[in-house]
Chains A and B, each alone.
Chain A
Amino acid sequence: MIPELGQFALVLALVLALVQATLPVIGAHKGIAPWIALARPVAQAQLLFVVVAYLCLTYAFLDNDFSVRYVASNSNTELPVLYQISGVWGAHEGSLLFWALTLSIWTGAVTLFSRSVPAAMLARVVGVMGMVSVGFLLFMLFTSNPFERLPNPPLDGRDLNPLLQDPGLAIHPPLLYMGYVGFSVAFAFAIAAMLGGRLDAAWARWSRPWTSIAWVFLTLGIVVGSWWAYYELGWGGWWFWDPVENASFLPWLVGTALMHSLAATEKRGAFKAWTVLLAIFAFSLSLLGTFLVRSGVLTSVHAFATDPERGVFILIFLALTVGGSLLLYSWRAAQIRSTVSFDLVSRETGLLLNNVLLVVATGAVLLGTLYPLITETLNLGKISVGPPYFNAVFVPLMIPLVLAMGVGAMARWKQDSAANLVRKLRTPLGIALVLGLLTPLLMPYYHLGAALTLFLGFWVTLTTLWWFHDRAGHGSLSSAIRTTPRGGWGMVTGHLGIAVFVIGAGLTSIYSSEKDVRLDPGQSYELGGHEFKFLGVVSAEGPNYSAERGTVEAYKGGDLVATLHPEKRVYRVQTMPMTEAGIDAGLFRDLFVALGEPLGQSGAWSLRLYHKPFVRWIWFGGLFMALGGLIAATDRRYFQAARRTVKAGPEAVAGAA
């Protein structure tokens, strides 16, 4: 009964989404006030029904209702409750429902928090989001119904994929989806502004906090995903340039460009047309990511060709969304030319350079991700494009970006002079050069790559902090710091995050060491200044798995610094062997041990040992960036604008009367 209720709620949500996608938009076009006023209540009602559907599926999981195909395929009576809840978004059908839920939540949030936006504009925004919602609800109901019943329900379910039975992966998809789908708000604002023919600073101001919040979620999602891959996949890597990872990274890169471009559009009215295009791209890449991950095209072009139903649906949806918005863009582009002028040396040029490098990087990653699919489709042979390619093209693009970051933030809007910039930047440049060249001496051995990494890290840190000094001018530094708005603090925090990330990524890849060894109980091996002593392996039982649990003690200079417990688990239902690494996390290094297999009768095992300096900095950097985005999104002026309009509201009405 409950699953049928969920299905019914989905159908009602679809009907409401159809209303939401049409009447408010037409109303805004023809000036029909009651239709415009429909936007808010219809969007909120749609949210309500999607929530009901979502709760029904969650109930089916908690109730162990294996007559529902999706529950039977992804749950089990022994599955812990946390994973029964997160299992709802663990596979295809449920994750689409989660996508739809996220979209409704964002739409609901827009109706609640956009009081300063004129009613007609809001109606168009909500209408565009309704169109996207229609697409996803149709997709779900026609090709991927999560509530489909089984004629002969099994006694027990097939269990959730063990890889997903982990707290990290329980929260990774919701964060990622909030980010992906969040870009639909920036997209909807851009489309709505084009429909209304009003692309002004106000539009950029309304879009900015939404874009930043979506970007914060996406950043956190990627950070958690990378961290999860590090400890769960057992190979100690933190980024593999896997197509699924790239699918989340592409919208992130364009989203980053969009945030910077929106800054120029809001502050100076510059690059309007370009900003609109970036908003369209960011959301299109989110949809493309969904297509890549959900259509099966990545596992093999042939798997896609033999069962194209889902893939073709998303492909058509993608073509309609991207094609439709680009058509609208080409029609409106001539009217949205920006007329502001700026000099070659100015912050505008800096932001454009940021955009060019980020978009070129996006293009390169997209090319590498899609190229194997293209050659296979065109029968040019099967090829692999992996980390060696991506590192070769991506890193050289990021080095100038990081260098330009220090200059860009310091440049004046509109007009600056090269001499002025050199005068401002020579001190941080000098200090960064000296520190960058000297600090690698503290490392196990001198490495030029490490010198470059550290120079870039210090350069970004110092120029970012110098920004306060520059802000103060002839005034006092403390008052400059006190009066810095949240937007400024967000920029500073985010850029410091880049510095932390660069240092982490660079030093980890240069100074990490690893070794595959065979150890008898009691035997030890020395790696990265630490002695790893293997004590042996015992059996252990988990709720739905049995495990072999090793114990390894790590010593430094004779002192015990950590006791590690790497595990090998076999999940009973899916009989899938899994490795759980034993990790001792530290600010300056991680010790990481993965269990291999038993060798002979003596209790000896093969083990993989890692010493990974600065690896935490990668995720700390990401967290800093996310924090920066959050601080910037809460800048007072977004709320001031809202309050002013609310205050102006009654007076304006009285004046009209």
Chain B
Amino acid sequence: MSRLLTAVFLLLICVAAEGGKVEAYAFDSAADEARYKQLVAELRCLVCQNQNLQDSNAELAQDMRRQTYEMVSAGKSNEQIVTYMVDRYGDFVLYRPPLKSSTFLLWVGPFILLLIGLGALLWVVLRIKRTPEPELTTEQHERARQLLEQDEDKNP
């Protein structure tokens, strides 16, 4: 138990230590800068609990930011940079999981859910529309019977 607490504690330190480090990189073009911003927002700091490169202060994150910056400045495409990162650190580094057999359900799941949901909605609505109004209660039956009997009394 204390081991778990220590782990949680260390991670909290990691989280809390973020936000401090800010590098003032200079870019050749606004397009490069936008590319860099998108990449560091979608790549994960591997040693932190749940933070992207942009917000992390861990040393590894600083290194990876520098690598990203250098590759962007060297004119590498986003795909090349992402491939480089995945080769070194695995899919874990991507906040946008790649579509492959192990993540198929993750990406397709919401669409399946939506189809099931809309199908169920349509089924319920069409079925309810066909259902006749609820049958009479026993009281109503009783009242109806009495009314009928009165009629019969009048018309022997």
Q: Is B42 a contact of A360 with CB atoms below 8 Å?
A: no
Name the interface residues of A550-587: CB closer than 8 Å to any CB of B.
568, 574, 576-579
CA distance A121 to B18 in the complex (A): 52
Q: Is B16 a contact of A385 with CB atoms below 8 Å?
A: no
Which residue, of B18, B117, B121, has the highest number of chain A Cβ atoms within 10 A? B117
CA distance A501 to B119 in the complex (A): 30
CA distance A237 to B103 in the complex (A): 27
Q: Is B102 a contact of A375 with CB atoms below 8 Å?
A: yes
Contact status of A516 and B24, CB under 8 A, knowing A299-B49, A384-B94: yes
Give the residues in chain A near B3, CB-CB below 8 Å. 303, 306-307
Q: Is A384 a contact of B121 with CB atoms below 8 Å?
A: no
Give the residues in chain A near B4, CB-CB below 8 Å. 296, 303, 306-307
Interface size classification for chain B: 35 or more
Contact status of A371 and B15, CB under 8 A, knowing A342-B128, A382-B92, A384-B92: no
Q: Is B20 a contact of A384 with CB atoms below 8 Å?
A: no
Interface string of A600-622 (1 = CB under 8 A from B): 00000011100000000000000
Give the residues in chain B near A594, CB-CB below 8 Å. 19, 22
Q: Is B110 a contact of A363 with CB atoms below 8 Å?
A: yes
Q: Is B20 a contact of A381 with CB atoms below 8 Å?
A: no
Q: Can you list 8 pairs linking A and B with CB atoms under 8 Å apart?
A: A234-B19, A342-B128, A359-B117, A387-B42, A568-B20, A576-B16, A597-B22, A606-B21
CA distance A60 to B115 in the complex (A): 55
Main secondary structure of the interface of B (DSSP, over half): helix
Residue B114 interfacial (CB < 8 Å)? yes
Select A386's contact among B17, B24, B96, B113, beta carbons within 8 Å: B96
Closest 5 CB pairs of A and B: A386-B95, A234-B19, A596-B22, A388-B96, A364-B110
Stretch from B6-14, B73-81, B145-153 that touches the partner: B6-14
Q: Is B95 a contact of A389 with CB atoms below 8 Å?
A: yes
Nearest B residue to A390, CB-CB: B95
CA distance A113 to B92 in the complex (A): 51
Q: Is B109 a contact of A364 with CB atoms below 8 Å?
A: yes
Residue A162 interfacial (CB < 8 Å)? yes
Interface string of A260-288 (1 = CB under 8 A from B): 00000000000000000000000000000
A-B contact count (CB 8 A): 169
16 extra interchain contacts, Cβ-Cβ under 8 A, other than A375-B102, A578-B16?
A: A161-B16, A339-B134, A340-B128, A349-B121, A356-B120, A364-B109, A371-B105, A371-B106, A380-B102, A381-B92, A382-B90, A383-B94, A387-B95, A389-B95, A577-B16, A606-B24
Main secondary structure of the interface of A (DSSP, over half): mixed
Give the residues in chain B near A330, CB-CB below 8 Å. none
Residue A48 interfacial (CB < 8 Å)? no
Q: Is A363 a contact of B94 with CB atoms below 8 Å?
A: no
Give the residues in chain B near A367, CB-CB below 8 Å. 105-106, 109-110, 113
Give the residues in chain B near A574, CB-CB below 8 Å. 13
Name the interface residues of A323-354: CB closer than 8 Å to any CB of B.
339-344, 349, 352-353
Name the interface residues of B13-40: CB closer than 8 Å to any CB of A.
13, 15-25, 37
Which residue, of A389, A597, A606, has the highest number of chain B Cβ atoms within 10 A? A389
Interface string of B79-123 (1 = CB under 8 A from A): 000000000001111111100001101100110011001101100
Residue A646 interfacial (CB < 8 Å)? no
CA distance A561 to B30 in the complex (A): 28
Contact status of A516 and B114, CB under 8 A, knowing A161-B12, A307-B4: no
Give the residues in chain A near B128, CB-CB below 8 Å. 340-342
For the complex formed, measure the closest distance between the CB of B87 and the CB atoms of chain A, giving whole angstroms: 14
Q: Is A349 a contact of B125 with CB atoms below 8 Å?
A: yes
Nearest A residue to B109, CB-CB: A367
For the complex formed, measure the closest distance between the CB of A278 and the CB atoms of chain B, giving whole angstroms: 13
Nearest A residue to B127, CB-CB: A341
Give the residues in chain A near B44, CB-CB below 8 Å. 384, 386
Residue B54 interfacial (CB < 8 Å)? yes
Q: Is B20 a contact of A579 with CB atoms below 8 Å?
A: yes
Residue B67 interfacial (CB < 8 Å)? no
Select A576's contact among B13, B41, B49, beta carbons within 8 Å: B13
Nearest B residue to A269, CB-CB: B134
Residue A4 interfacial (CB < 8 Å)? no
For the complex formed, measure the closest distance between the CB of B23 and the CB atoms of chain A, giving whole angstroms: 6
Q: Is A384 a contact of B22 with CB atoms below 8 Å?
A: no
For the complex formed, measure the closest distance between the CB of A301 and the CB atoms of chain B, giving whole angstroms: 12
Contact status of A233 and B19, CB under 8 A, knowing A299-B7, A386-B42: yes
Nearest B residue to A270, CB-CB: B128
Give the residues in chain A near B133, CB-CB below 8 Å. 341
Contact status of A397 and B114, CB under 8 A, knowing A234-B18, A381-B102, A594-B19: yes
Which residue, of A303, A353, A360, has the highest number of chain B Cβ atoms within 10 A? A360
Give the residues in chain A near B114, CB-CB below 8 Å. 360, 397
Residue A368 interfacial (CB < 8 Å)? yes
Give the residues in chain B near A381, CB-CB below 8 Å. 90-92, 102
Residue A206 interfacial (CB < 8 Å)? no
Residue A422 interfacial (CB < 8 Å)? no
For the complex formed, measure the closest distance between the CB of A632 and the CB atoms of chain B, giving whole angstroms: 25
Q: Is B131 a contact of A299 with CB atoms below 8 Å?
A: no
Q: Is A296 a contact of B134 with CB atoms below 8 Å?
A: no
Give the residues in chain B near A161, CB-CB below 8 Å. 12, 16
Q: Is A233 a contact of B113 with CB atoms below 8 Å?
A: no
CA distance A607 to B11 in the complex (A): 25
Interface string of A153-186 (1 = CB under 8 A from B): 0000000011100000000000000000000000
Q: Is A389 a contact of B97 with CB atoms below 8 Å?
A: yes
CA distance A306 to B37 in the complex (A): 38
For the complex formed, measure the closest distance between the CB of A513 and the CB atoms of chain B, giving whole angstroms: 10
Q: Is A163 a contact of B110 with CB atoms below 8 Å?
A: no
For the complex formed, measure the closest distance between the CB of A646 and the CB atoms of chain B, giving whole angstroms: 28
Nearest B residue to A580, CB-CB: B19
Select A384's contact among B97, B124, B126, beta carbons within 8 Å: B97
For the complex formed, measure the closest distance between the CB of B90 and the CB atoms of chain A, giving whole angstroms: 7
Q: Is B50 a contact of A577 with CB atoms below 8 Å?
A: no
Give the residues in chain B near A233, CB-CB below 8 Å. 15, 18-19, 55
Give the residues in chain A near B41, CB-CB below 8 Å. 387
Residue A393 interfacial (CB < 8 Å)? yes
Contact status of A606 and B12, CB under 8 A, knowing A371-B106, A382-B92, A384-B92: no
Residue B52 interfacial (CB < 8 Å)? yes
Residue B129 interfacial (CB < 8 Å)? yes
Nearest B residue to A311, CB-CB: B4
CA distance A101 to B1 in the complex (A): 25
Q: Is B17 a contact of A342 with CB atoms below 8 Å?
A: no
Give the residues in chain A near B24, CB-CB below 8 Å. 516-518, 606
Contact status of A606 and B129, CB under 8 A, knowing A307-B1, A384-B91: no
CA distance A161 to B9 in the complex (A): 9
Nearest A residue to B126, CB-CB: A344
CA distance A20 to B103 in the complex (A): 46
Give the residues in chain B near A516, CB-CB below 8 Å. 22-25
Residue A242 interfacial (CB < 8 Å)? yes
Residue A300 interfacial (CB < 8 Å)? yes
Residue A142 interfacial (CB < 8 Å)? no
